[in-house]
């Protein structure tokens, strides 16, 4: 499974695994793929510890880091929480009462100091600095064109920059901003997505960006889908959802159970978690924010993230105590391939299964050409 990008990065399989879980990243990298750690879950100090842990376990094999830069709120000490309207705080309290979620720690709306390292441009800069101190093989900009500072620092360290896109226009802007790798992510994907399907998007992006390598993302959880992506011109695949039900994943048990039982119709693009359209499991949370008459409507990013992630921490704890209302509310980002995720497997086994299925799919296509 040789591609120019795989050779450049020194990986056996051009299978990129995005995860917020260090165990998944290490397992996929050690199995011959390329793990990518989502940094938004961590402060700079926490990220440094997580990357050091990975370094110790991958034996010099390449892995990457994904950084979210959602927008500019000037200064790292701005009191972000002060911008959250009372009606949005009141709506969260209303949901807790309606669904019988027990009282939490009182920190459901997190302070700006705690969350600034994850949702502001200044905080993202700190994460980039930490990432580049480690022997990473790739750094990705998860939302919007990579900032000039990010590209310049990566260039200094000889690290390629990847960027996620949902349209051809986005791809052209990302390349102009200095992206070395484009991840063309279709609407089937979990998390932030546009409205164009992977099958339509990937070949258009491949044609638009010329020699810049393209990874396909969205709707890819087995080797058949990987082979289809490569046939469209991609040099590899970027997968996230498939790792959420692995043994190593830190997915909350209540949410993992919901994923294992879900069909591909059980996801929705909703602004209720981040303020931007993001595909996630349907739940009472998405229904209440998107359709309830009393809903004030989601805020923009990063304010809605501040509201939602603090609330979800309380909901998740209550769901694990077996509170039925909390289980109704609980959800997480996941793509439409959730309908294929019906068992818990080690991440290494998922990698090997995808590679074997890919080989079988390629052989079937070869026979068709005889």
pLDDT band per the 50, 70, 90 thresholds, residue 107: low
Q: What is the mean pLDDT of residues 122-145?
A: 88
Distance spanning both ends of the chain, measured CA to CA: 21
Give the helix/strand (H/E) hosting 165: strand 161-165
Portions of the chain given CATH number 3.20.20.70: 1-72+120-251+341-370
Evaluate whether 143 touches 69 at the Cβ level (below 8 Å). yes
Evaluate whether 41 touches 21 at the Cβ level (below 8 Å). no
* Dist. CA 347–CA 246, nearest whole Å: 6
> Is the pLDDT reported for residue 115 higher than 80?
no
H-only helix segments in the chain? 4-9, 22-30, 44-58, 86-98, 112-119, 121-131, 148-156, 168-176, 198-209, 223-231, 253-261, 284-291, 303-320, 324-329, 347-368
> Is the pLDDT reported for residue 80 higher than 90?
no
Residues 6+ apart with CB under 8 A from 5: 14, 181, 213, 215, 235, 236
Q: How many CB atoms lie within 10 A of CB 318?
A: 24
* Dist. CA 294–CA 70, nearest whole Å: 28
pLDDT band per the 50, 70, 90 thresholds, residue 320: very high
The predicted structure's pLDDT at residue 148: 85
DSSP 283: -
> Is the pLDDT reported for residue 117 higher than 70?
no
pLDDT band per the 50, 70, 90 thresholds, residue 142: confident
The predicted structure's pLDDT at residue 71: 46
pLDDT digits over 187-199, tens only?
Answer: 999 999 999 999 9
Candidate from 69-78, 273-282, 304-313 with smallest mean pLDDT: 69-78
Residues 6+ apart with CB under 8 A from 85: 296, 299
Report the candidate in 164, 152, 122 with the shortest Cα–Cα distance to residue 36.
164
> What residue has token string 């070869």?
366
The predicted structure's pLDDT at residue 343: 96
Q: How far is CA 155 from the centre of its chain?
A: 24
Greater model confidence, 95 or 124: 95
Long-range contacts: 96-99, Cβ < 8 Å, 24+? 96/311, 96/314, 98/325, 99/284, 99/325, 99/326, 99/328, 99/329
Q: What is the mean pLDDT of residues 6-27?
A: 97
pLDDT digits over 82-98, tens only?
Answer: 789 999 999 999 999 99
Residue 14: both structure tokens together:
């051009």
Beta bridge partners of residue 17, listed in sequence order: 35, 239
Q: Whole-model pTM above 0.75?
A: yes
* Dist. CA 116–CA 360, nearest whole Å: 47
Pairing verdict, β 267-270 and 236-239: unpaired
pLDDT digits over 211-241, tens only?
Answer: 999 999 999 999 999 999 999 999 999 999 9
Report the candidate in 309, 308, 312, 317 with the shortest Cα–Cα distance to residue 290.
308
pLDDT digits over 68-78, tens only?
Answer: 865 443 444 55
Residue 370: both structure tokens together:
């005889």
> Is the pLDDT reported for residue 67 higher than 50?
yes
Evaluate whether 36 touches 161 at the Cβ level (below 8 Å). no
Residue 323: both structure tokens together:
């509170």
> Is the pLDDT reported for residue 114 higher than 80?
no
> Is the pLDDT reported for residue 109 higher than 90?
no
- Nearest 5°: the CA angle 304, 126, 128 is 95
Greater model confidence, 301 or 295: 295
Greater model confidence, 130 or 119: 130
Look up the CATH architecture of domain 1-72+120-251+341-370: Alpha-Beta Barrel (3.20)
> Is the pLDDT reported for residue 59 higher than 90?
yes
Helices then strands, counting H and E runs in the chain, come out as: 15, 11
Q: What is the mean pLDDT of residues 320-340?
A: 97
Q: What's the mean per-residue pLDDT of the chain?
A: 91
Candidate from 144-148, 158-162, 328-332, 348-352 with smallest mean pLDDT: 144-148
Q: What is the mean pLDDT of residues 239-254?
A: 97
Report the candidate in 192, 191, 189, 312 with the shortest Cα–Cα distance to residue 255.
312
Pairing verdict, β 214-217 and 267-270: unpaired
The predicted structure's pLDDT at residue 306: 87
The predicted structure's pLDDT at residue 116: 45
pLDDT band per the 50, 70, 90 thresholds, residue 112: very low
């Amino acid at each position: 499974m040789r591609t120019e990008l795989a050779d450049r990065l020194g990986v056996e399989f051009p299978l990129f695994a995005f995860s917020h879980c260090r165990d998944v990243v290490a397992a996929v990298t050690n199995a011959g793929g390329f793990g990518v750690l989502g940094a938004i879950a961590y402060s700079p100090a926490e990220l440094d510890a997580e990357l050091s842990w990975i370094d110790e376990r991958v034996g010099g094999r390449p892995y990457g880091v994904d950084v979210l830069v959602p927008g500019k709120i000037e200064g790292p000490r701005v009191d972000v929480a002060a911008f959250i309207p009372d009606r949005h705080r009141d709506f969260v309290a209303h949901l807790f009462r309606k669904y019988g979620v027990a009282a939490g720690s009182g920190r459901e709306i997190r302070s700006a100091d705690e969350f600034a390292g994850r949702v502001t441009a200044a905080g993202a800069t700190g994460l980039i600095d930490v990432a580049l101190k480690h022997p990473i093989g790739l750094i990705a900009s998860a939302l919007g064109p990579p900032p000039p500072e990010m590209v310049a620092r990566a260039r200094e360290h000889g690290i390629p920059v990847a960027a996620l896109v949902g349209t051809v226009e986005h791809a052209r802007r990302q390349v102009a901003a200095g992206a070395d790798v484009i991840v063309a992510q279709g609407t089937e994907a979990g998390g932030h997505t546009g409205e164009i399907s992977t099958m339509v998007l990937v070949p258009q992006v491949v044609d638009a960006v010329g020699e810049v390598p393209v990874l396909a993302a969205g709707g890819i959880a087995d080797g058949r889908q990987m082979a289809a992506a490569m046939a469209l011109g991609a040099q590899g695949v970027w997968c996230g959802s498939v790792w959420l039900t692995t043994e190593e994943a830190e997915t909350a048990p209540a949410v993992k159970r919901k994923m294992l039982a879900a069909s591909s119709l059980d996801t929705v693009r909703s602004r209720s978690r981040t303020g931007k359209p993001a595909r996630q499991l349907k739940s009472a949370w998405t229904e209440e924010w998107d359709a309830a008459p009393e809903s004030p409507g989601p805020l923009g990013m990063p304010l809605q993230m501040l509201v939602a992630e603090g609330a979800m921490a309380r909901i998740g704890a209550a769901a694990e105590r077996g509170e039925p209302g909390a289980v109704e509310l609980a959800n997480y980002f996941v793509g439409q391939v959730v309908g294929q995720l019906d068992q818990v497997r080690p991440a290494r086994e998922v990698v090997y299964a995808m590679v074997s299925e890919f080989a079988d799919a390629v052989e079937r296509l070869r026979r068709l050409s005889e």
